[in-house]
A and B are shown apart, each in its own frame.
Chain A
Amino acid sequence: MNAKDKLKTGAADGPATREYTVIGTRPVRPDGVDKVTGRALYGADVHPTGLLYGAVLRSPHAHARIVSIDTREAEALPGVKAVITAADMPEAADEVSDHGETSVNIRYQSWNILARGKVLYHGHAMAAVAATSLHIAQEALKLIRVEYEVLPPVLDVRAAMAADATIILENLRTDELGHKGDRPTNIASHMRHERGDLDAGFAQADVIVEREFTTSMVHQGYIEPQNATALYNPDGQVTIWTSTQGAFGVRSQIEELLHIPVSRIRVIPMEIGGGFGGKNDVYLEPLATLLSKKSGYRPVKLTMSRADVLQATGPTSGSYIRVKMGADKTGRLTAAEAYLAYEAGAFPGSPVESGANGIFNAYRLDNLRVDGYDVLVNKPKTAAYRAPGGSNASFASESVVDELCRKLEMDPIEFRLRNAVKEGDRKVDGPRYPRIGLIETLEAARAHPHYHAPLEGPHRGRGVACAYWGNYGGRSSASGSINRDGTVSLVEGSVDIGGSRAAMAMQLAEVLEVPVTDVKPLVGDTDSVAYTEGTYGSRTTFATGWAVYELGLKLKQRLCERAAELWEIDPEEVSYAAGVFTAGAHRMTLKALAREIDDGRPLMASATVLPETEGPAFAVHIVDVDVDPETGKVQLLRYTAVQDVGTAIHPSYVEGQIQGGAAQGIGWALNEEYVYDAEGHMLNASFLDYRMPTALDLPMIDAVIVEVPNPGHPYGVRGVGEVPIVPPPGALANAIYRALGVRMTVLPMSPGHVLEALWAIED
């Protein structure tokens, strides 16, 4: 039996609804005190002896040929220790590497980290300096002389697809449904899902709605800017302290980009100040590593400014989306068609595929076609952002579903219930669903008092949207040892980005039947725990939690063996429950046994899992708005987010994920956008002008937990983090429609866009 089959066996006897001791409680997180006292060390807080400070020169142009770069004056400035350009980066392989949530061509990633030949967006890194102070490093940047030949920028996804568009990457050819094209293009790929007979499906429809939508690039908006500190030692050992969602991912990327063997690289993941998908790909780590070597093996710290973060790290795609759906009089969907064109930024790799996979996945559909296009524009290379590509796709499909409901005069939740997917139905991209909880989630939303509360006032409306997200499994590892006082030290490979130390400790405590305070979790670096993928794809509590579960079983087994040794009986005779080992007349608590066996032989175990039984998640959001028709401002009055989470390990942090995801989706829906001038300069690269929701913009967000256990996890866990960002744009568009009678087809639905839409119907 191979490892994967073994895990599948584990999945088969998965959870019915069970009684738990630790799971479902709300303990204080183990890293809590450090985080409320300012003691927790984040990436920018490290300060190795002899530290140098770095700064990065960035392109003032959106698209230009680099004629020359002269760094001599900068190198001569007192205090400057090293200057690097693309000439210092090794030539990278033209091959695709799997970064978990996204796949990246290494050569393109190398060009993104330091521009080679051309700059492709405003803010594109071109050179980096290390100096004895940050201020000197910044002064040195001004002394680097660059000659540019400015080229016209391509700033809109549809313009970029035109036959006569300016070409961004000369060697790019379209991957057209698996076949390489033969002409220069900005379209990196075209993918399609198709099922049934679309024409026949639309012929059965009594109502058909077709709409076009456009959405703007938006940013993950983590509060901690990217940072990296690297020490390249004279013996060739590299140590990197960084804020990353995945230490092992950083290690692989440094190996691929700088051709340093993984055994020479140690990545220490510091506490991370938010990521949301944006801190999987490296930007600064290779630069800090090269600068450290070139400056005479001194540690170098690089931190981004907020403008750098917005201009040059992964936003998610702006998009153009067309959706056509038909339903018969009974409210049954008969056909659905979508066309999605996503801005990838300056290099291929938008999340159009996951957007296209998810767009109709809440609905049973026999006839469908979905086309997705990955398109280059002169804007920053996109990165993953929480349910990548899902929110803009769902904005389009949920708006069209709402219009079908209006035409059929059918309650929006009733309509969705009539079409809701359940176990055995097929997803858009083919696989059949395992046990899922969409119907339970819709029913919980319909039963919620919010859905029945009166909503009066002239410009008020209530909107509903539902959403799917597939979630991800992936490889995770954990190791642990029993201490002499009977407590357990746990080392796990998942960066804790939102309380996962607590979720891991709780799952281990549940297996070992000990209080959660007896488990001491530690996030390991790349030399102290086995390979673990990053904290992304809603996978950590699911997959790393499973590794911890397997670890717990092994520790329990070894403890039984040691008890048997002590009692001179067979291990099979020993049983364990609620912290006590028993065999016949023998009885010993775990704590007593731990003391008894503290004989110099450590009691340790480790586990690695690669589960592929992640549980798809569904969410239904209800929102009430009040729209000011004079200003176009949308005020939220009430917000309810209902979600099937499988099993809530730590309900407070599950609620937090739901509330935080909803808040990001609300920002995406109402305010956030990348604004460019005609030359491709980003005009709003600050938190003042890139307007994320504040405490004053939001009401309390009622997070309603539905638990339909995932049969593919020992404790029934589904992913939680991603799906709540998906429904808000659709729910808000539908609420605005009911408030004003205006169908919004543009994100953000900012005051200006709402007013334009109002004026258009008045004309």
Chain B
Amino acid sequence: MSSKVLVRSHINGENIDFLVEPRQSLLEALRDVLGLTGSKEGCNNGNCGACNVILNGVLVNSCLVLAVEADGGKVITIEGIAGPDGLHPLQQAFLQEAALQCGICTPGFIVSAKALLDRNPNPTEDAVRHWLAGNLCRCTGYDKIVRAVLLAAAVMRDEASLDASDDLQAV
């Protein structure tokens, strides 16, 4: 069997060293080696986006990146989106807008949307649809997902607010 390689990386704010086989993808390493199962495998060939992570500031399909490529790199997965004070506005907006049904694509959409808002804090509906075209959702028809991303963007620009009550009402 192939011998393992040491990868030194920075994942969700922590330095993490781990051993992988050279043939293992970053997705496999995250899920099977590190137990970070929030990144999902929907196709394993870069077409569905369920495994999206941000690697060194760039949105990638972790199924198409070898784990060894994360050596020395900085990785943000869905597990690293919420802050110490609670959910990220994108996560809150997804809940408030009911932008998920089965939820399997949700981690990928939230990571992908974060990468969008990191570079474009004020996207149009068309820009959101264009950016999210690499993420497949089979449940929602995208309507509520697009609305949730636009809402989160507005909240982050202080132009809208999320309902803070226990029983959140959709806007």
Known A-B contacts A28-B96, A660-B141, A662-B141; the reply to A696 vs B130 at CB < 8 A is yes
Partner of A656, one of B31, B45, B144: B144
A656–B77 Cα distance when bound, in Å, is: 26
Known A-B contacts A37-B38, A223-B48, A696-B133; the reply to A42 vs B104 at CB < 8 A is yes
Those of B2-53 within 8 Å (CB) of chain A = 21, 23, 31-32, 35-45, 47-48, 50
Known A-B contacts A223-B136, A656-B144; the reply to A35 vs B103 at CB < 8 A is yes
A663 touches B141 (CB 8 A): yes
Which of the segments A140-148, A271-279, A732-740 contacts the partner chain?
A271-279
Q: Is B159 positioned at the interface, with any CB of A under 8 Å from its CB? A: no
Determine the residue in chain A with the shortest Cβ distance to B149: A695
Q: Return B106 CB to nearest CB of chain A, in Å.
A: 6
Q: Is B143 positioned at the interface, with any CB of A under 8 Å from its CB? A: yes
Q: Return B151 CB to nearest CB of chain A, in Å.
A: 13
- List chain A residues, Cβ under 8 A from B45: 306, 686-688
Q: Is A155 positioned at the interface, with any CB of B under 8 Å from its CB? A: no
Determine the residue in chain B with the shortest Cβ distance to A663: B141
Q: Return A695 CB to nearest CB of chain B, in Å.
A: 4
A10–B31 Cα distance when bound, in Å, is: 49
Known A-B contacts A660-B141, A694-B133; the reply to A38 vs B79 at CB < 8 A is yes
Q: Is A534 positioned at the interface, with any CB of B under 8 Å from its CB? A: no
Q: Return A498 CB to nearest CB of chain B, in Å.
A: 4
A37–B88 Cα distance when bound, in Å, is: 9
Q: Is A585 positioned at the interface, with any CB of B under 8 Å from its CB? A: no
Known A-B contacts A515-B167, A652-B170; the reply to A223 vs B87 at CB < 8 A is no
Main secondary structure of the interface of B (DSSP, over half): loop
B104 touches A224 (CB 8 A): yes
B38 touches A225 (CB 8 A): no
A694–B43 Cα distance when bound, in Å, is: 15
Partner of B144, one of A31, A44, A47, A659: A659
- List chain A residues, Cβ under 8 A from B50: 223
- List chain B residues, Cβ under 8 A from A31: 103
Those of A154-201 within 8 Å (CB) of chain B = none
Q: How big is the A interface, by class?
A: 35 or more
Those of B58-101 within 8 Å (CB) of chain A = 77-79, 81-82, 87, 90-91, 94-98, 100-101
Main secondary structure of the interface of A (DSSP, over half): loop
A79 touches B1 (CB 8 A): yes
Q: Return B78 CB to nearest CB of chain A, in Å.
A: 4
Known A-B contacts A223-B136, A515-B167; the reply to A36 vs B87 at CB < 8 A is yes
- List chain A residues, Cβ under 8 A from B97: 652
A220–B32 Cα distance when bound, in Å, is: 27
B143 touches A29 (CB 8 A): no
Q: Is A714 positioned at the interface, with any CB of B under 8 Å from its CB? A: no
A31–B78 Cα distance when bound, in Å, is: 16
- List chain A residues, Cβ under 8 A from B146: 695, 700
Partner of A37, one of B81, B134, B140: B81
- List chain A residues, Cβ under 8 A from B158: none
- List chain B residues, Cβ under 8 A from A275: 102
Q: How big is the B interface, by class?
A: 35 or more
A28 touches B138 (CB 8 A): no
Q: Return B143 CB to nearest CB of chain A, in Å.
A: 5
Q: Is B115 positioned at the interface, with any CB of A under 8 Å from its CB? A: no
B138 touches A698 (CB 8 A): no
Q: Is A287 positioned at the interface, with any CB of B under 8 Å from its CB? A: no
B129 touches A695 (CB 8 A): yes
Q: Is B54 positioned at the interface, with any CB of A under 8 Å from its CB? A: no
- List chain A residues, Cβ under 8 A from B132: 694-696
Known A-B contacts A26-B98, A37-B79, A38-B37; the reply to A660 vs B138 at CB < 8 A is yes
- List chain A residues, Cβ under 8 A from B94: 32, 36
Determine the residue in chain B with the shortest Cβ distance to A41: B37
Q: Return A633 CB to nearest CB of chain B, in Å.
A: 16
B102 touches A135 (CB 8 A): no
Determine the residue in chain B with the shortest Cβ distance to A221: B138
B43 touches A687 (CB 8 A): yes
Known A-B contacts A223-B137, A225-B42; the reply to A37 vs B78 at CB < 8 A is yes
Determine the residue in chain B with the shortest Cβ distance to A657: B101
A653–B101 Cα distance when bound, in Å, is: 8
- List chain B residues, Cβ under 8 A from A583: none
Q: Is A516 positioned at the interface, with any CB of B under 8 Å from its CB? A: yes
A735–B160 Cα distance when bound, in Å, is: 38
A698–B133 Cα distance when bound, in Å, is: 10
Chain A residues near B (Cβ < 8 Å): 25-29, 31-33, 35-42, 44-45, 47, 78-79, 135-136, 220-225, 271-276, 303, 305-306, 497-499, 515-517, 650, 652-653, 655-657, 659-664, 686-688, 692-696, 698, 700-701, 703
Q: Lowest 5 A-B CB distances belong to which pairs?
A: A38-B38, A273-B104, A663-B141, A652-B98, A38-B78
Q: Besides the contacts A26-B169, A37-B87, A517-B166, what 20 more A-B pairs have beta carbons closer than 8 Å?
A: A33-B95, A35-B100, A36-B94, A37-B38, A37-B91, A38-B36, A42-B37, A44-B31, A47-B35, A222-B104, A223-B137, A225-B41, A273-B104, A274-B104, A305-B44, A652-B98, A686-B45, A695-B133, A701-B141, A701-B143
Q: List 29 A-B contacts (CB under 8 A).
A: A25-B167, A26-B168, A27-B167, A28-B168, A32-B100, A37-B82, A38-B79, A45-B31, A223-B42, A224-B104, A225-B42, A271-B104, A273-B103, A274-B102, A276-B138, A306-B43, A499-B98, A656-B98, A660-B140, A663-B141, A664-B138, A687-B47, A688-B47, A693-B141, A694-B136, A696-B132, A698-B129, A700-B146, A703-B143
